[in-house]
Structure 1
Amino acid sequence: MAAGTAGGATERVEAERPLLEHLKAMGWQYIEGARLKEAGERGDFREVLLERRLRAALRRSSSWMKSDAHAEATISALRAATRHVSAQSLPQANRDVTTLLLYGDMQQGPDDKQVQAKFFDWSREALEGSREEVLARNDYLVVDQFRVHDADGRPSVLDLVLFVNGIPLVIIECKSPDIPDPLGKAIRDLRAYTGRPLDDDTRRGSGAPRGVPHLFVPAQLLVAADGTHAALGTYSSAEQHYALWRSVTPDYGDPDRPGDDGAEDLRRELRGWGLLGPEEAPTLQQRLSAIVLRPGNLLNIVRHYVFEKPVDEDSGDRTKSRFKAAEPKTVKVVCRHQQYRATEKIVARLRTRPSRRVTGGDRDERGGVIWHTQGAGKSFTMQFLARRLHMSPDPALNGITLVAITDRTDLQRQLRRAVALSDSEIREATSRTDLERLLRRAGRAGGRAVIFATIQKFLGDLAPATGEGKDTADGEDKALAEDFEQARRRLEAGESAEEVADPTPDERTLSRAERIFPECSDEDRVLVLVDEAHRSHTSVLHACLRKALPNAARVGFTGTPLMQGRLTDTGRIFGLEPSSESGGAPEFLDTYRMTEAERDKVVVPVRYAGRATTAEVRDRERLDACFEDLIEPLDEEQQERVREKYGAPSARVVAESVPMIRRKAIDMLEHYVAGPLTGGFKAQIAAVSRRAAVTYRSALREARTDLLRRVEEFDDCGRREALRDKLPETYTAEESLLLRAWQFQELLRRIDFVPVISAGAEQKEGVWREWTDPEEQRKHIARFLRPFPQLPPDNPWVTYPAAEPDPVPAESVGDMNPWSDLVFGGGAASGGDNGRDEAGQPPIAFLIVKSMLLTGFDAPIEQALYLDRPIRDAELLQAIARVNRPARRKREGLVVDYYGVLNNLGVTLAAYRGNPPALDSLRSMADEIPEMKRTADLVREFLAAAGIDPDGLTSRAAFSSAVLALGDPAVRAGFDTRLGDFLGAVDRVLPHEKALDHLHDVRAWSVLQMRVRRHYRDDTGGGFAMRGYGRKVRALIAEHLRAQEIEQKIPPVSILAPDFDEVVGTLPVHEAAAEQVQGLRYHLEERLAVEERPVYRQLSVELERVLEEFAGNWEEISRELLPLVDRARRAEEADPAVADLSPMEQRLYVLIGEKLTESETLEDASPERLRRLVDEVYDEITATVRMASFGGRERHVTLLEARLYERLRAAGLRSSGAGREAVKRLASALAGYATEHLAEFRAEARQE
């Protein structure tokens, strides 16, 4: 926002200034942006490097540099990388420069030897030393209102830019906390500045901040701040991937007290600097600043906690050239606060605690347990740890061998891919013999690496079976139902819940484990990382490791809470911390609970609903009766023998019965159509056996056929059309379902339902091969992870395809989530004809499994898990986490229980009795109904406090009065927050009939929000977007809002719209004047944000004068505004001299004219001569960019620059007294402009 506007002043006072003062208190130097040139820090506004500081830093950190000439060669390499960067080439340029910054530039030294020129001092003293030493070893400078010009000389002004050694590493955008969605607006502006705006940013042309991608080439971190909150991301982060920073440990607080969150230490520090009042607590903005932006630690994070993650689009992107391999797609990822916190705690342990070799004790004191809930990025925490250790300048850390042990090969692959991004050497054991060989090198010279091995490599036949490997040796399914009943009986008999869930290995097993390996390495520079440390097999593994690596440190990772009965054993193996409370239970090294992850939006909350009814009991009784009928002809002795041999039908037989599966499949499909499908999400079924999984496929296909038949009848007989005259809350459940199915019928016809099961005895006969073959399974999973080709519009009365684009594009589901191991989006979503992919295969909506994919399967697109099998304890908690992965517009995950598993949590989670965190993973859908009522009451109270009758919004006058009552931006932000909470609760309850009780409130308050946002131009682009609404809510109100907009004659957003005056003229005087005020204010703020023309500044001042002078007198305000609006419109009129030119020619005309006017040496040109120059330049640019080989790279731009120089000279352009340099600079600027607008020039070239 322009600093001179009213909103900009609030932003500076409430957000920017407090952050700036905090930075200065931490030791950052400060120069006002307007004073940089006079301070000799930069030559012109295109420069993004502060070369004087960079030159001094290079000579300081590279002692071999004896003159500025040596530094100049290195600066030239960095300078060249930031020149002529387009939005398209920014990712590659950022990768190249990041490598340069991390590893330095190799130059020829004084003795003609290759030496390293380092941009930063990465030593431990520079990163972790005293304040004085940290500030002396690197140069830290913050600049506010940093002005940068794009290729055509147009300015953008960045709120805060943080330079380290003259290099812009952090860019911060601040917004006033009083506006709606301040962080969202800041993030959208940051992305616009990169030249790569977010997909849902509808601002175009003068309404959007100008892209200055060359500033972001060296930038490593981006921060959005509003004075209270601050979110961290990178240049490639989408809005949902920016994260708040909540932790300040271990930098603050007592490291020996895990319960100390460090907030009190930070509070004392801030109070000492005068940045916090006596009763105030540190804000989230101050927390982020204190850790991420603290001198020294900023470089620690840049070096160890930022990396490029490849994005796997599974070859679904049809934009790739057939003849040229596309560059790998990556996103730049920065750690979240819990990952940084856990990693730094482990590092501190390794440095400060003694090893077993030193103490001679029974346990190494450097270990601990990391409990981070599933979905919190555990694999990336391991990756950050490897990077933190192996890239450290500290020899005590960089020589450590990491040994990572998992219990599943798929998890090992996932962790291996993540840790490979750390640049550490990866070694993977292929056999037990190979593992022994690798362990012999652990901790020794040359042993710095990460060794991966499964627990099976360590323990052989002592290792537990996992997943469907638990099935019997002959390939038959394990009797899950019978095991569940047996567990229930054992619990009722009083056995230990922990033993029932996970039996403790006996002494004989532990003794065997100790003999598996000889002693391989007695070094203490070894760190063993054990995944799934909650399992009892960890005791067996410990016995094995104690012999093989007796002095290694051990850290256990778990995604589920530890059973209370396992704490003692876990403490013996890894070490637990004394309780921070007297008499309390031992504590973990670091804890990140489900509630924290939900608050941080790392995962979505999971709700469960029970669908199991007495039908199962009746079916069981019916089968028992059939059995008795069959044996009735036999005598009593024969009947008894048959009963002894065959028994009554088992629970598994009941669950596998075809009639039962058919009935459940119908219900599942109807639930799916009414819920997850509407958001573009998918589902998984967990069946009781592999046979049941295959049966479900047929049953779902039959259910789909029947549903489509019902939809056809519903449409043909006129029942659908009759619903137009009814309110949605009056629909029957059947009508709501059929209307939704009619809306999605084209997609419903094409979706597929696919089993993914392990092979058994039937494999020899070739049965089920399509569902058991590993290669086919990989293909099925890949198709499941792809978004649906296209979703129908929100409005159920709009026919497919939509007249307007869906506010939630189908391809956005899953998006590019950097915390998801499997990331799909973009081209893969476009689908082929008729909703099929390139191979002509239909999209997969359901995966049907028995045990496969219930643990470790990362699928953000999955929202619903339909449980039709017994499952308990840790396996249940892991299965639940399949639906908690975040995706765009995914508000919650759903677990729908058809087996009755969740009816008795005393059995299913018996091992976690008395452990509330375990139950945090799963909450009933019924809990959302009172939450919906509570949030509705909060909206009512808020509106009433603002003088608005919440039930009286029934007329235009009532709405108009309410809109004016919400004039204060802070009040509007409060309304948006409360309404968002209410609509979110309604969306979660839908399609439950209780949600229909609130539809009147939903409609009235949504219309009010639409009117308010349109009037005050609060949304991006000044219009109204239902971006924050859930799709189920949008489907209910889309038609209503559209009708309201037509009936109420909503004025256009822009005063430049041809019908603005006509529509405003139909309004009452006070409404018309208010619309003129907001329309003109929005227009001026929009223009001032991108260009500093005096006419806009003058009009802005005059507008505020009118409002102050005639406050409340709407007739006078309207009269005074008319000439101001007219002047604003005249300022937008095009120069008639260029009316016949194409858009890009017109832009070149303005650019070249401005350059000639600004230059003191180039000759001014008449309009005729300027036209000739434009013709020459435009012809050369379009001819060059038309060539297929032109890609905007440095060599291409240099060639274009040379050709433009020749054209300008041939056209007679000359300079007076400066040789040819002025013409060369103009040619360079034009070449850079052409590169940044390559797409526009190519589009016009194709039309010629």
Structure 2
Amino acid sequence: MSDVMLANFKEEQSAKIPALTLLTHLGYQFIPPAECLTQRGSRSTVILPQVLRELLAKKTFTFMGKEHPLSSAAIDKIVHELATPAMNEGLKAANEKFYNALTYGIGITEFVGGKKASPTIQVIDWENPENNVYHFTEELEVENSQGTGKRIPDLVCFVNGLPWVVIEAKRPDSSTEGKATVSEGISQNIRNQKIDEIPHLFAYSQLLLSVNGHEGLYATCGTPEKFWAKWKEEEITEAEFSKLKNKALSKIQLDSVFAHRPQKVREEYESLVAGGDRVVTDQDRLLVSLLRHDRLLDMTRLFTLFDKKAGRIVARYQQVFGIKALVERITSFDDKGARNGGVIWHTTGSGKSFTMVFLSKALIWLKELARCRVVVVTDRVDLEDQLARTFASGGALSGKDKKEAMATTGRRLAEQIGKGNERIIFSIIDKFRTAIKLPECHNDSPDMIVLVDEGHRSQNGENNIRMQQALPNAAFIAFTGTPLLQDDKTENKFGKIIHSYTMQQAMGMTNDHIMSCISYTACPDFG
């Protein structure tokens, strides 16, 4: 057997087939490569138009108190808009434009009984993952932007006919000594995004993965290699991973996955399955953790940011589980009707500012937090400015909103707390000294959330008392990166620890040579 054939065989058996079978168990429907090409219509088309059309045909809009189906013209408009990403503006802009269409919806014009309606259509049902359709294929042949050649990503996952996830699956042993094969998959993903390659595929991508059978890393469109990250799961149990990995494929599923392969490949797989339960690998954990339908939707809508400096950012696992724990905490109330708070203890360099921005996205999208306002409190002007820039850059604030959000004086802070309607307020904690003396500096609404940056410094003495007096029913959340000592009162002042990410966990990630920084925010260039 030649070296190329041997390498391909190892890639198939070690990485690709385990990924194919696991995605099938996760509820993705497999489309063989030839059939997928037929559905696409050409190698330059990367969406599945008919899948999208069939989904849109089930959509309705409300007008004059009644539900109406979409017209053929409206369906054509949406399909055309999604099938032609604005690549003339560059991949980053095209990807962000597509993301906005996914999250905010697409506006159309309809005429009902001669009257004009202008509904916004949501292509994705974010609230009910089961209402979307999920497919995947392998060896997706995509013609490059110049029409002179093609690239063939190993695996691509589609949501409602749109290619959301691109996966490179490599053999476990590298031909280059000292270089992990996941690095080869990362390099291919990055290369394929270049202007003369297949950037039009990545205009749609929400997550990118590189796996090799044993391990896997993830990132998103535009992520440099050093920021590709490992995932550590905190909710799904090992028993659940094992159950999914060792679930038997039905005959129909087996035929679908193996019909276009040599018979010996299927026999090898069936022999492996007959040998008993297979061990769960980090590749399996990554695929299940990120590509389970509900998690994929959350990672896209809640845990993705477009930063003006760093580009597109997808959350690290500590940010995801920190926010999930935080949302659970602040949606609960004590016996007096006040929102519960607590402490987010994430070590320095773990991306606390972006964690706060991810929380702001939760406030926008989660119904249970829709009425909440946020007060961001720091103890230094440079921190206040940095966080305001991060919120603005991450899309949580417009330029006008940023100006209105700043509590420039104690009087301004008092007015914002008592009479304002700004969704986000930024203040230096010392301004509470002046503000609390003014009668308007009081708001007993439980829909106020106070984020206190570096809570171990800001919580002491009168400062904390002033905040509690002004906002008696607010949820107070302290963010700290400093290890909490036994006599540290941060937890006592703000409540229990909601989520922790310690230096030991961060060092573990670094020692695995997963990335040079925990996230963009770990690097000096990104604050």
Q: State TM-score, norm by structure 1.
A: 0.36
Q: What CA distance in whole angstroms lies between the structure 1 residues aligned with 2:103 and 2:378?
A: 31
2:450 maps to 1:528: yes
What is the identity, as a one-letter code, of the residue corresponding to 2:42? D
Call closer, same or farther: CA 1:536–1:404 in 2, change over 3 Å.
closer
Q: What CA distance in whole angstroms lies between the structure 2 residues aligned with 1:33 and 1:384?
A: 37
Q: Is the 8 A contact 2:59 2:70 kept in 1?
A: no
SS at 1:403 equivalent: strand
2:474 maps to 1:565: no
Q: What CA distance in whole angstroms lies between the structure 2 residues aligned with 1:365 and 1:267?
A: 38
Q: Tell me the residue number matched to 2:221.
A: 235
**1:440-519 equivalence runs, <5 A:** 440-441=418-419, 447=421, 449-459=423-433
Q: Tell me the residue number matched to 2:336.
A: 360
Q: State TM-score, norm by structure 2.
A: 0.83
Task: Select the residue among 119, 122, 139 that pairs with 1:118.
Answer: 122
Write 1 or 2 for the structure with the bigger share of strand: 2
What is the identity, as a one-letter code, of the residue corresponding to 1:348? E
Q: What CA distance in whole angstroms lies between the structure 1 residues aligned with 2:193 and 2:93?
A: 13
Cα displacement (A) at 1:118: 2.1
Q: What CA distance in whole angstroms lies between the structure 2 residues aligned with 1:300 and 1:99?
A: 15
Cα displacement (A) at 1:267: 4.5
Task: Select the residue among 174, 178, 196 that pairs with 2:169.
Answer: 174
SS at 1:27 equivalent: coil
SS at 1:244 equivalent: coil
Q: Tell me the residue number matched to 2:508.
A: 599
Q: Tell me the residue number matched to 2:91.
A: 90
Q: What CA distance in whole angstroms lies between the structure 1 residues aligned with 2:461 and 2:17?
A: 55
Call closer, same or farther: CA 1:514–1:163 in 2, change over 3 Å.
same
SS at 1:333 equivalent: strand
Q: Is the 8 A contact 1:34 1:146 kept in 2?
A: no
Q: Tell me the residue number matched to 2:48.
A: 50
Q: What CA distance in whole angstroms lies between the structure 2 residues aligned with 1:276 and 1:300?
A: 36
Cα displacement (A) at 1:170: 0.9
**1:79-228 equivalence runs, <5 A:** 79-81=83-85, 85=87, 89-110=90-111, 111-122=115-126, 124=127, 126=128, 134-135=129-130, 137-150=131-144, 151-152=146-147, 154-179=149-174, 180-195=179-194, 211-228=197-214
SS at 2:457 equivalent: coil
SS at 1:243 equivalent: coil
Task: Select the residue among 66, 73, 79 that pairs with 1:75.
Answer: 79
What is the identity, as a one-letter code, of the residue corresponding to 2:18? P
Q: What CA distance in whole angstroms lies between the structure 1 residues aligned with 2:445 and 2:247?
A: 45
Q: What CA distance in whole angstroms lies between the structure 1 residues aligned with 2:290 and 2:476?
A: 28
Write 1 or 2 for the structure with the bigger share of helix: 1
Task: Select the residue among 395, 398, 417 that pairs with 2:370.
Answer: 398
Cα displacement (A) at 1:600: 2.1
2:410 maps to 1:432: yes
The structure showing larger relative contact order (alpha-carbon pairs under 8 Å, at least 6 residues apart) is 2
Give the length in aligned residue pairs.
481
Cα displacement (A) at 1:603: 12
Q: What CA distance in whole angstroms lies between the structure 2 residues aligned with 1:244 and 1:29?
A: 26
Q: What CA distance in whole angstroms lies between the structure 1 residues aligned with 2:283 and 2:302?
A: 22
SS at 1:15 equivalent: helix
Q: What CA distance in whole angstroms lies between the structure 1 residues aligned with 2:197 and 2:274?
A: 36
Q: Tell me the residue number matched to 1:781.
A: none
Cα displacement (A) at 1:518: 6.2
Q: What CA distance in whole angstroms lies between the structure 2 residues aligned with 1:411 and 1:455?
A: 11
**1:1187-1206 equivalence runs, <5 A:** none
Call closer, same or farther: CA 1:539–1:160 in 2, change over 3 Å.
farther
Task: Select the residue among 495, 498, 502 that pairs with 1:589.
Answer: 498
**1:900-979 equivalence runs, <5 A:** none
Cα displacement (A) at 1:287: 2.5
Q: What CA distance in whole angstroms lies between the structure 2 residues aligned with 1:562 and 1:50?
A: 52
* 4+ runs deviating over 4 angstroms: 262-282, 513-519
Residue-by-residue CA offset, 1:628-686 (whole Å, 9 max, x unaligned) = xxxxxxxxxxxxxxxxxxxxxxxxxxxxxxxxxxxxxxxxxxxxxxxxxxxxxxxxxxx
Cα displacement (A) at 1:594: 1.2
Cα displacement (A) at 1:544: 1.4
Q: Tell me the residue number matched to 2:292.
A: 294
Gaps of 5+ in 2: 62-67, 250-272
Question: How many percent identity over aligned positions?
Answer: 29
Task: Select the residue among 333, 353, 356 that pairs with 2:313.
Answer: 333
Q: What CA distance in whole angstroms lies between the structure 2 residues aligned with 1:8 and 1:423?
A: 46
Cα displacement (A) at 1:348: 1.7
Task: Select the residue among 387, 396, 400 that pairs with 1:423.
Answer: 396
SS at 1:823 equivalent: helix
Call closer, same or farther: CA 1:409–1:603 in 2, change over 3 Å.
farther
Q: Tell me the residue number matched to 1:389.
A: 363
**1:685-764 equivalence runs, <5 A:** none
**1:759-838 equivalence runs, <5 A:** 818-819=520-521, 823=525
**1:255-334 equivalence runs, <5 A:** 262-263=237-238, 266-267=241-242, 270=245, 282-311=280-309, 331-334=311-314
What is the identity, as a one-letter code, of the residue corresponding to 1:454? I
Q: Is the 8 A contact 1:403 1:529 kept in 2?
A: yes
Q: Tell me the residue number matched to 2:253.
A: none
Task: Select the residue among 348, 370, 375 that pairs with 2:349.
Answer: 375
Cα displacement (A) at 1:555: 1.2
Call closer, same or farther: CA 1:27–1:601 in 2, change over 3 Å.
same
Q: Is the 8 A contact 1:405 1:531 kept in 2?
A: yes
Call closer, same or farther: CA 1:281–1:105 in 2, change over 3 Å.
same
Say what the alpha-carbon RMSD is for the aligned residues.
3.1
Q: What CA distance in whole angstroms lies between the structure 2 residues aligned with 1:419 and 1:264?
A: 39
SS at 1:45 equivalent: coil
Call closer, same or farther: CA 1:189–1:37 in 2, change over 3 Å.
closer
Gaps of 5+ in 1: 127-133, 197-209, 253-261, 312-329, 461-512, 577-587, 605-813, 825-857, 859-1248
Q: Tell me the residue number matched to 2:262.
A: none
Q: What CA distance in whole angstroms lies between the structure 2 residues aligned with 1:23 and 1:17?
A: 10
Q: What CA distance in whole angstroms lies between the structure 2 residues aligned with 1:539 and 1:21?
A: 58
Task: Select the residue among 329, 332, 353 that pairs with 1:349.
Answer: 329
Call closer, same or farther: CA 1:538–1:68 in 2, change over 3 Å.
farther
What is the identity, as a one-letter code, of the residue corresponding to 1:423? A
Call closer, same or farther: CA 1:603–1:181 in 2, change over 3 Å.
closer
Cα displacement (A) at 1:268: 5.2
Call closer, same or farther: CA 1:161–1:456 in 2, change over 3 Å.
same
Residue-by-residue CA offset, 1:230-267 (whole Å, 9 max, x unaligned) = 11112211110101111233xx3xxxxxxxxx445544
Q: Tell me the residue number matched to 1:843.
A: none
Task: Select the residue among 360, 373, 380 that pairs with 1:408.
Answer: 380
Q: What CA distance in whole angstroms lies between the structure 2 residues aligned with 1:182 and 1:188?
A: 10
Call closer, same or farther: CA 1:514–1:303 in 2, change over 3 Å.
same
SS at 2:390 equivalent: helix
Q: What CA distance in whole angstroms lies between the structure 2 residues aligned with 1:265 and 1:538?
A: 44
Q: Is the 8 A contact 2:343 2:494 kept in 1?
A: yes
Q: What CA distance in whole angstroms lies between the structure 1 residues aligned with 2:459 and 2:387?
A: 20
Residue-by-residue CA offset, 1:721-748 (whole Å, 9 max, x unaligned) = xxxxxxxxxxxxxxxxxxxxxxxxxxxx
Q: Tell me the residue number matched to 1:28.
A: 28
Call closer, same or farther: CA 1:20–1:423 in 2, change over 3 Å.
same
Q: What CA distance in whole angstroms lies between the structure 2 residues aligned with 1:211 and 1:34?
A: 22
Asked which structure has the greater CA Rg, the reply is 1
Q: What CA distance in whole angstroms lies between the structure 1 residues aligned with 2:512 and 2:358?
A: 20
Q: Is the 8 A contact 1:368 1:575 kept in 2?
A: yes
Q: What CA distance in whole angstroms lies between the structure 1 residues aligned with 2:191 and 2:135?
A: 24
Call closer, same or farther: CA 1:601–1:62 in 2, change over 3 Å.
farther
Call closer, same or farther: CA 1:379–1:144 in 2, change over 3 Å.
same
Q: What CA distance in whole angstroms lies between the structure 1 residues aligned with 2:342 and 2:316?
A: 20
Residue-by-residue CA offset, 1:860-901 (whole Å, 9 max, x unaligned) = xxxxxxxxxxxxxxxxxxxxxxxxxxxxxxxxxxxxxxxxxx
Q: Tell me the residue number matched to 1:546.
A: 468
Cα displacement (A) at 1:515: 6.2
Cα displacement (A) at 1:297: 2.1
Q: Is the 8 A contact 2:418 2:440 kept in 1?
A: no
